[in-house]
């Protein structure tokens, strides 16, 4: 789900910043960007993220800003820079390009510029990890606040589906006379009124209408919606569980639509489907 967390701390004329961003995803997709001096700590940070974040496309950036007097020195591999430059120049000449900015481009190639990396002290790492935990806490608070808003929106959508089911139940008795009239009119037009066997017609009509009965679908839909609302109250991570329940809700709504055989009922069902699609979109934000 979407989220954002930021934390900063200072240590020995250096400023450490940890920024965490996430977007919707069914699984945890973690991208971690940190200075080379901290590369041996990446596994630890990934484990913490996997345990606490659970889902989302997450980008974590750890940056260090040194004061000018303490900034890390860098060296340029001149031979490698010349090699890349000549290669780029040859391509530029072949394409008839002016080749402006080739040196700057070559400087960005791997291993051209090397930075001196010092080992970090235990105190420095403790501060960095503290900053990471603060950013993660801020990130979780952001997601909790957003989750509360999403919860109210999802409850509204479920209630709209239940209201749609109530409107379907109100409209349902009106469709039987309409079906009877439509079929009777068709038979009279096809074979003539005097040739219609009304007893047989009523028998076939009962059989036909029984296939269009949606009583079971209404009962199951109500049960699924109630179960969904109960699962929504659970404090444990239940986004996938809610996703499975929403699939069952969709199955009952689709069956009601296929059995409706009535324009007004189908319009109501379309509205229920729209509400369910909005719920499914929001569930990508639920852990």
In a shared domain, residues 149 and 227:
yes
Alpha-carbon distances, residue 87 vs 76, 84, 129 (angstroms): 18, 5, 43
- Provide the terminal-to-terminal Cα distance of the chain, rounded to the nearest Å: 7
In a shared domain, residues 80 and 175:
no
In a shared domain, residues 157 and 266:
yes
Give the H or E element holding residue 21. strand 14-23
Alpha-carbon distances, residue 94 vs 1, 87, 89, 90, 98 (angstroms): 48, 11, 9, 6, 10
In a shared domain, residues 159 and 84:
no
Number of domains comprising the chain? 2
In a shared domain, residues 191 and 249:
yes
In a shared domain, residues 269 and 155:
yes
Rg (CA), the chain: 32
pTM above 0.75, yes or no: no
Residue 139 within any structural domain of the chain: no
Cβ pair 262, 175 in contact under 8 A: yes
Residue 180 within any structural domain of the chain: yes
Q: Which of 107, 130, 157 is the last residue of a domain?
A: 107
Q: Which domain holds residue 83?
A: 74-107
CB crowding 215-250: b at 16 or more within 10 Å, else e: eebbebbeebbeebeeebeeeeebbebbeebbebbb
In a shared domain, residues 98 and 223:
no
Residue 231 within any structural domain of the chain: yes
Rounded CA separation 177/215 (Å)? 18
Residue 228 within any structural domain of the chain: yes
In a shared domain, residues 164 and 98:
no
What's the distance, CA 160 to chain centroid?
22
In a shared domain, residues 165 and 264:
yes
In a shared domain, residues 85 and 183:
no
pLDDT in tens, the chain (287 residues): 688 999 999 877 788 899 999 987 778 889 998 887 788 888 999 999 888 888 888 999 998 887 654 445 567 888 888 888 888 888 888 888 777 788 888 887 877 766 555 566 788 888 899 999 999 999 999 988 888 888 899 999 999 999 999 998 888 777 777 666 676 666 666 666 666 566 766 666 666 666 777 888 999 999 999 999 998 888 765 778 898 999 999 999 999 888 877 888 889 999 999 999 999 888 877 76
Residue 127 within any structural domain of the chain: no
Residue 57 within any structural domain of the chain: no
H helices present in 4-77, as ranges = 42-52
In a shared domain, residues 193 and 98:
no
In a shared domain, residues 80 and 209:
no
């Amino acid at each position: 789900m979407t989220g954002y967390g930021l934390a900063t701390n200072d240590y020995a004329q250096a400023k450490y910043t940890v920024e965490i961003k996430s977007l919707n995803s069914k699984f945890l997709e973690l991208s971690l960007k940190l200075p080379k001096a901290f590369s041996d700590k990446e596994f630890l940070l990934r484990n913490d993220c996997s345990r606490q974040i659970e889902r989302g496309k997450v980008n974590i950036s750890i940056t260090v800003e040194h004061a000018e007097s303490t900034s890390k020195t860098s060296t340029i591999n001149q031979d490698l820079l010349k090699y890349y430059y000549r290669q780029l120049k040859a391509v530029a000449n072949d394409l008839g390009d002016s080749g402006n900015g080739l040196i700057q481009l070559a400087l960005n190639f791997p291993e051209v510029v090397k930075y001196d990396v010092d080992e970090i002290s235990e105190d420095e790492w403790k501060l960095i990890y503290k900053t990471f935990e603060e950013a993660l806490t801020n990130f979780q608070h952001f997601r909790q606040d957003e989750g509360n808003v999403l919860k109210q929106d999802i409850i509204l959508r479920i209630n709209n589906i239940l209201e749609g089911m109530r409107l379907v139940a109100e409209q349902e008795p009106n469709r039987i006379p309409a079906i009877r009239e439509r079929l009777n009119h068709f038979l009279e037009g096809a074979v003539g009124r005097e040739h219609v066997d009304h007893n047989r017609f009523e028998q076939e009509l009962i059989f036909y209408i029984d296939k269009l009965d949606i009583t079971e679908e209404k009962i199951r839909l109500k049960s699924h919606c109630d179960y969904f609302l109960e699962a929504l109250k659970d404090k444990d991570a239940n986004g996938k569980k809610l996703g499975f329940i929403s699939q069952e809700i969709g199955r009952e709504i689709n069956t009601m639509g296929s059995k409706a055989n009535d324009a007004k009922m189908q319009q109501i069902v379309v509205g229920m489907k729209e509400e369910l699609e909005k719920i499914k979109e929001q569930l990508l934000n639920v852990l």
